[in-house]
């Protein structure tokens, strides 16, 4: 078959007098060698696997316009002949699912253009070969007085894989008290690698209350809580100089109360369920600036709004974390961090059986943060 195709091609060249007889003879000897090798390859593939061989044959010799339809037709015929369970729709679904579960890489051109055109609007990205990105995951599964957080191992593995694929070396700490979390955070903040990094991620997964993240010894009578202020103080520009002017991303998967996050409303918008009459506390703002802002370049993304719960499945992990991982994989190749977070929020917009609304808080980033995966 390969020989016939090539002979037809050479006859066309001869008929149109593109090449001289001498050139055709020289070309013919080389072509004979190629054809012999090619036909041997095709025969071998056909013997090993009919479908693989046919796909390769058609990709080399068949009309391009018919290739996709013919391959699908062969897959269906192959399946029916061999009593297999795959169909063309199954192949599409598997392909679609695998694309969702794989981090999309940023093309080189999409990496270089923003670095030049938007240089003053985005956070600088260090060269891949010389940077040393670090990320910290703290996950509490077992507690002295609270229920075990079943399914959280899915969250750990998912976030670890995501961050590693984004170029971060991931440190994982588990089952810590509030004091132990504070010690680990201080140790992580002093890591010299941050000097050669352009950003960091801090991921917390635990039980929680409105005041913060629960340590393993937490109970109502004796709170064991890591407060947000503690985290921000450890990593601010006064205490963590190596991360000055660099994005510090805080992700928290924890309840922030016992509310279900939903309310029934009438057509005129009047709430008809358990209003919470919380007195508004006064906030005192201070523009305490010396050589630099004390707190800058932070963003915290929390799994729910204040006073409300976050949902976790004992088999698949946290709903928030799974959505977050999926949208990072799909959109970090072309969208900045805040836009990815908004897409996660939008995925929770319509309340259903599981109702929660992820929330962006304490945002002090002055530029767009692009991850540019693969670069």
Q: Which tens digit of pLDDT belongs to each residue from 294-353?
A: 999 999 999 999 988 888 877 788 999 999 999 999 999 999 999 999 999 999 998 877
pLDDT at 211 over 50: yes
Q: Among 70-74, 116-120, 292-296, 310-314, which stretch is predicted with the lowest mean pLDDT? A: 70-74
Q: Which of 207, 218, 335, 336 is flagged as catalytic?
A: 207
Separation of alpha carbons 2 and 36, rounded Å: 9
User: Does residue 11 carry a pLDDT above 80?
Assistant: no
The pLDDT-based confidence of 268 (bands split at 50, 70, 90) is very low
- pLDDT of amino acid 20: 65
Positive or negative, the CA dihedral 25, 26, 29, 33 is negative
Choice among 47-61, 70-84, 118-132, 301-315 with the minimum mean pLDDT: 70-84
pLDDT of res. 5: 56
The per-residue pLDDT for 33 is 54
| Residue 159 pLDDT > 70 | yes
The single residue of 255, 333, 335, 336 carrying the catalytic annotation is 255
Quick one: which of 307, 351, 305, 343 has its CA closest to 325?
343
**Weakest mean pLDDT among 160-169, 214-223, 345-354:** 345-354
Residue 17 has pLDDT above 70, yes or no: no
State the pLDDT at residue 321. Answer: 96
Global pTM reads 0.68
Identify the residue with better confidence: 18 or 192: 192
The pLDDT, as a whole number, for residue 29 is 59
Stronger pLDDT, 75 or 160, i.e. the higher one: 160
- State residue 9's pLDDT score: 62
Q: What's the pLDDT score for residue 260?
A: 72
272 is catalytic: no
339 near 331, Cβ under 8 Å?
yes
Q: Which has the higher per-residue pLDDT, 266 or 50?
A: 50
Of 218, 219, 246, 248, the C-alpha closest to 233 is 248
Q: Say what the pLDDT of residue 12 is.
A: 65
CA-CA-CA-CA torsion sign (301, 304, 310, 316):
negative
Q: Residue 281 has what pLDDT?
A: 44
In the chain, what are the domain boundaries? 2-100, 108-261+292-361
pLDDT bucket at 100, cuts 50 / 70 / 90: low
* Mean pLDDT value across residues 164-174: 98
Q: Is the pLDDT of residue 135 over 70?
A: yes
Is there a catalytic annotation at residue 139?
no
CATH tag, 108-261+292-361: 3.40.50.1460
Most confident option among 61-65, 71-75, 158-162, 350-354:
158-162
Q: Which residues contact residue 167 at a Cβ distance below 8 angstroms, ignoring those fewer than 6 apart?
A: 128, 131, 133, 373
The answer to whether 79 touches 86, Cβ cutoff 8 Å, is yes
Q: State residue 103's pLDDT score.
A: 94
């Amino acid at each position: 078959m390969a020989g016939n195709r090539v002979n037809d091609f050479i006859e066309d060249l001869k008929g149109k007098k593109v090449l001289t007889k001498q050139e055709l003879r020289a070309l013919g000897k080389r072509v004979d060698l190629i054809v012999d090798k090619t036909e041997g390859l095709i025969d071998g593939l056909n013997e090993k696997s009919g479908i693989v061989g046919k796909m390769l044959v058609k990709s080399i010799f068949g009309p391009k316009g018919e290739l996709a339809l013919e391959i699908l037709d062969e897959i269906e015929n192959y399946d029916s002949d061999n009593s297999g369970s795959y169909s063309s729709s199954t192949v599409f679904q598997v392909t679609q699912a695998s694309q969702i579960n794989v981090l999309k890489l940023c093309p080189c051109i999409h990496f270089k253009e923003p670095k030049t055109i938007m240089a003053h609007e985005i956070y600088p990205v260090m060269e891949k070969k010389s940077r040393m990105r670090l990320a910290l995951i703290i996950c509490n599964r077992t507690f002295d007085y609270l229920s075990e957080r079943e399914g959280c191992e899915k969250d750990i593995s998912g976030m670890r894989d995501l961050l590693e694929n984004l170029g971060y070396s991931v440190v994982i700490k588990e089952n810590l008290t509030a004091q132990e979390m504070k010690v680990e955070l201080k140790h992580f903040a002093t890591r010299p690698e941050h000097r050669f990094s352009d950003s960091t991620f801090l991921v917390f997964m635990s039980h929680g209350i409105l005041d913060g993240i629960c340590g393993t010894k937490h109970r109502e009578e004796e709170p064991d809580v890591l407060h947000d202020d503690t985290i921000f103080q450890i990593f601010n520009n006064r205490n963590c100089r190596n991360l000055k002017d660099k994005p510090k991303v805080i992700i928290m998967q924890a309840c922030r109360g016992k509310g279900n996050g939903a309310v029934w409303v009438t057509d005129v918008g009047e709430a008809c369920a358990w209003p919470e009459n919380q007195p508004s506390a006064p906030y005192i703002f201070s523009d305490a600036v010396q050589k630099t802002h004390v707190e800058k370049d932070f963003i915290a993304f929390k799994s729910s709004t204040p006073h409300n719960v976050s949902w976790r499945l004992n088999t698949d992990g946290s709903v928030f974390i799974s959505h977050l991982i999926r949208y990072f994989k799909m959109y970090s190749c072309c969208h900045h961090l805040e836009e990815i977070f908004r897409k996660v929020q939008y995925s929770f917009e319509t309340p259903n059986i599981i109702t929660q609304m992820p929330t962006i808080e304490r945002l002090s980033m002055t530029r767009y943060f692009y991850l540019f995966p693969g670069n």
